[in-house]
Chain A
Amino acid sequence: MYQGEIGKRSKKIKNVVERGAVKKFAEAIGDPNPIYWDEETGKRSRYGRNIAPPTFPRVFDYGVIEGLKLPAKGLIHGEQRFHYERPLFVGEELYCYAEVKDYYEKQSSMGQLGFLVIANNGEDAEGNLVFTSTSTIIINEAVRKAMSV
């Protein structure tokens, strides 16, 4: 169903690791460590600045993969992987894009399930990869049939 989409990418979008957004995100996961928001703590740290929590890339805009249509409902987030070259720095600009990495189907007790693997990447201004956030999304048979694809 999505085999033809493998390899498709979105255009890169400039994102900023916003100070207020990082603080709010850290609060929402109950992680009050000042390394995320207190400027003095950031300056004294080995990073010389504040950093963002590892699951923060959830908030970035990765643009739109043209032609990729996902059902609005009935998706299950099955797996999630983050890879980092280094932590994210508060205030830095990242260029983010999404890519369809894989699609496969498997028979299960719930019928034929589809597994869509999407990688969300972030690069610095020089084009060096900083992080990859890879999600495996499970699409059940009922949802696929409703989309008639």
Chain B
Amino acid sequence: MTTIREWQVGQSLPEVTLPPVSRLDLIKYAGASGDYNPIHTIDEEAKKAGLPGIIAHGMWTMGNLVKLFTPYYEEGFVQDYFVRFQSMVFLNDVVTLTATVKEKDEKTIRFAVAAVNQHGKDVVKGELVFALYE
């Protein structure tokens, strides 16, 4: 496997496209995270809140996005991870996870990260600093 240290500025980690968002995905995340806000799981509640339908937890998308880095934990760890929730994720949306090297020094690699929907729109966008071990 290639090591994360070898990545150069401008290079991207392998993208991951998630299966279409299902209600079960969000029910599972609600249970695992303890976030039972019903706009994420129950249609009527989402409609009452003025939404066209249930939406994914922002933290579900954020949690998915950072898994691009899981294969590299022998080399370092996620020191800083920031995102802005730009747009909502609806049922059946197809989300693609991306990370591109922005800056690099001896100790850290800074990535631009994003989750993009099937219309090419950023739903989650931010930055991640991966700290390298000696």
Interface residues of A (CB under 8 A from B): 21, 24-25, 27-31, 33, 35, 45-47, 51, 53-55, 58-59, 73-74, 76-84, 86-87
Flag if A83 contacts B67 (CB, 8 Å): no
Q: Quick one: closest B residue to A51, CB to CB?
A: B73
Q: Which of B32, B66, B79, B80 contacts A59 (CB 8 A)?
A: B32
Residue in contact with B66 in the complex, picked from A35, A54, A73, A76, CB distance below 8 Å: A54
Q: How far is the CA of A31 from the CA of B18 in the complex (A)?
A: 11
- B74/A45 in contact, CB under 8 A: yes
The answer to whether A28 touches B32 (Cβ under 8 A) is yes
Residue B73 contacts which of A24, A58, A74, A87 (CB distance < 8 angstroms)? A87
Chain B residues contacting A81 (CB-CB under 8 Å) are 80-83
User: Are B73 and A29 closer than 8 Å at their CB atoms?
Assistant: no
Query: Which of the candidate stretches B7-15, B55-63, B101-109 sits at the interface with the other chain?
Result: B55-63
B57-97 residues with Cβ-Cβ distance < 8 A to A are 58-60, 62-64, 66-67, 70-71, 73-74, 77-85
B80 to chain A, nearest CB (A): 5
Q: In the complex, what residue of chain A is closest to B18 when comparing beta carbons?
A: A30
B111 part of interface (Cβ distance < 8 Å): no
A146 to chain B, nearest CB (A): 13
